[in-house]
């Protein structure tokens, strides 16, 4: 067995969120020079079970093994017809992590650093496209490149989110949103603090807002809980309307 190759694969599995439980089985399969094999891993996120089948394949000389893809499936109760599946591809140990795969399959977006065909790195938000499938039935992945103009930090700024007032809490909030999580926030309103959940929505360059039961609500409610933000918005709106009112006033005088 190529120990250097085995250590690289184990490190990749760890970085991708699959842990170390399959390491012993990985060693056995590589020792046996099995041409190709799969290893199973199960995680639980948000009280939902997700199964992973990790695919390994030997190179031409069978000394090097490659971890090129994994299949993920979210189990929905006792009815298999409701299960959600998706295949994710790995490139040189890098790709969508186990938790990110779950978040994508739950309909959320993930921010990743990717590499193009010219080996140049770039940033992009990823979302699974329910309307477009590959020939194998896999959902295609939409890419919202950094030039698309979605900046989640700018979107949530000035909305009275208390976590943004503390540098560490702000960093954790932004990191969580970019991982595709539904992250809880605290908004300071006139009637006291209120708790919400938000998720990034790069397609519409905004965030989606949820209550404590993860029921989607109007984004305007977030703004409405923040008196300062509401006043600022009102002030901005009035300042934008002033020139229009003056123009209308001048037109009235001219028409008399």
Q: In this structure, is residue 52 part of a structural domain?
A: yes
The answer to whether residue 72 sits within a structural domain is yes
Q: Give how far Cα 244 sits from Cα of 158, 234, 247, 255, 256, Å.
A: 26, 16, 5, 16, 19
Token reading at 190: 């006139």
Average pLDDT along the chain: 86
Count of domains forming the chain: 2
Q: Are residues 165 and 75 in the same domain?
A: no
Is 113 inside a domain boundary?
Answer: no
Q: Which residues contact 139 (CB under 8 A, 6 or more apart)?
A: 86, 128, 129, 130, 132, 133
Instruction: Give the angle subtended at the CA of 187 by the CAs of 218 and 207, to the nearest 5°.
Output: 40
Q: Tell whether 95 and 159 lie within a shared domain.
A: no
Shared domain check, 97 and 17: yes
Residue 124 lies in a domain: no
Say yes or no to pLDDT of 256 above 50. no
Name residues whose C-beta falls within 8 Å of residue 149's C-beta, 6 or more positions apart in sequence: 205
Furthest-apart CA atoms within the chain: distance in Å: 97
Residues 163 and 223 in one domain: yes
Q: Which of 24-33, 91-100, 179-188, 231-240 has the lowest mean pLDDT?
A: 231-240
Q: Flag whether 140 is in a domain.
A: no
User: Has residue 1 got a pLDDT over 90?
Assistant: no
Residue 19 forms part of a structural domain? yes
Q: 33 — phi, psi (to 5°)?
A: 55, 40
The pLDDT assigned to 249 comes to: 43
pTM: 0.83
Residue 212 lies in a domain: yes
pLDDT at residue 170, rounded to an integer? 97
Given a cut of 80, whether residue 14 has pLDDT beyond it is yes
> Which residues span the domain enclosing 57?
3-101
Domain identity same for 9 and 97: yes
Stretch 203-231: mean pLDDT, rounded?
Answer: 75
Percentage, residues of the chain above pLDDT 90: 70
Residues 79 and 164 in one domain: no
Mean pLDDT of 48-59: 96
Judgement on whether residues 93 and 181 belong to the same structural domain of the protein: no
**Residue 126 domain flag:** no
């Amino acid at each position: 067995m190529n120990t250097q190759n085995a250590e690289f694969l184990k490190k990749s599995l760890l970085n991708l969120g699959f842990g170390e439980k399959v390491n012993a089985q990985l060693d056995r399969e590589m020792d046996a020079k099995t041409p190709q094999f799969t290893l199973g891993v199960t995680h639980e996120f948000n009280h939902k079970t997700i199964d992973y089948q990790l695919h390994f394949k030997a190179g031409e000389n069978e000394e090097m093994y490659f971890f090129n893809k994994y299949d993920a499936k979210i189990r929905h109760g006792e009815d298999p017809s409701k299960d959600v599946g998706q295949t994710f591809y790995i490139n040189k140990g890098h790709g969508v992590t186990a938790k990110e795969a779950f978040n994508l399959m739950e309909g959320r977006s993930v921010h990743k650093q990717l590499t193009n065909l010219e080996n140049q790195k770039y940033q992009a938000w990823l979302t699974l496209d329910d309307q477009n499938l590959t020939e194998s039935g896999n959902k295609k992945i939409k890419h919202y490149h950094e030039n698309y103009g979605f900046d989640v930090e700018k979107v949530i700024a000035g909305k009275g989110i208390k976590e943004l007032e503390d540098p560490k809490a702000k960093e954790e909030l932004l990191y969580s949103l970019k991982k595709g999580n539904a992250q809880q926030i605290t908004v300071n309103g006139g009637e006291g603090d209120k708790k919400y959940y938000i998720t990034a929505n790069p397609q519409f360059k905004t965030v989606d807002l949820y209550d404590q039961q993860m029921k989607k609500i109007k984004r305007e409610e977030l703004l409405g809980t923040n008196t300062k933000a509401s006043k600022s918005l009102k002030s901005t709106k009035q300042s934008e309307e002033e020139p229009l009112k003056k123009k209308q006033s001048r037109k009235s005088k001219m028409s008399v």
